[in-house]
Amino acid sequence: MRTPRRAARLAILDPDGAVFMFRYDDVEAGIHWATPGGGLDPGESPRAGAVRELREETGWTDVEAGGLLCTWVHDFTRQGVPVRQHEHIYLAAGPRREPTPEAVARHPEDRILGWRWWPPAEAAAPSEPLWPPPLARLLAAPRGAPVDLGYLPVAPTHSA
């Protein structure tokens, strides 16, 4: 039995269309890349949670959530607990920069191994999984209504 978890993320695009992502290591799903974000606090809206998580994980306070890009559901293990995560991913625009040293100091507790800006061509053919798997395609498509990806299994990869 998996514990339900609500979460939200921001797909931050720089002026050249590169997306900012973190590299994670999950005990169940292995190495993967995902946009900044995480679990929602009780009573917190997905949009507010995405912005709060971005601030905690990057130290950036000047990025605002734009339109909803997609929703999806996936499984992974968080702090030893198998969860089924229901996730909202919002678009945002921001300058190309690094997370603050204070934010980076907290990365190990979230199993964040690193970060980078993914240019569109590299995101379309990643060497390691991106979450959600169709993220590059969604970012390259003309903006329309948000896409509900439903449940997507994530294939395990080896850990770092």
User: Which domains does the chain carry?
Assistant: 3-151 (3.90.79.10)
Q: What average pLDDT score do residues 4-10 get?
A: 98
CA dist 138 and 91 (Å) reads 11
pTM of the predicted model, to two decimals?
0.94
Nearby residues of 25 by Cβ (< 8 Å), 6 or more positions away = 31, 111, 113, 159, 160
Tens digits of per-residue pLDDT, 110-138? 899 999 999 999 999 999 999 999 999 99
Residue 160: is its pLDDT beyond 60? no
Tokens 């061509």 belong to which residue?
Answer: 121
What proportion of the chain, given as a percentage, has pLDDT over 90? 84
**Residues 57, 36: Cα–Cα separation, whole Å:** 7
Question: Residue 99 carries which side chain, given as an amino acid letter?
Answer: P
Mean pLDDT of the chain: 94
pLDDT band with cut points at 50, 70 and 90 for residue 28 = confident
Q: Given pLDDT bands bounded at 50, 70 and 90, which one contains residue 159?
A: low
The phi-psi region of residue 111 (left if phi > 0; otherwise alpha if psi is between -120 and 50; otherwise beta) is left
Q: How confident is the model at residue 158 (pLDDT cuts 50, 70, 90)?
A: low
- Count Cα atoms within 13 angstroms, Cβ side, for 33: 22
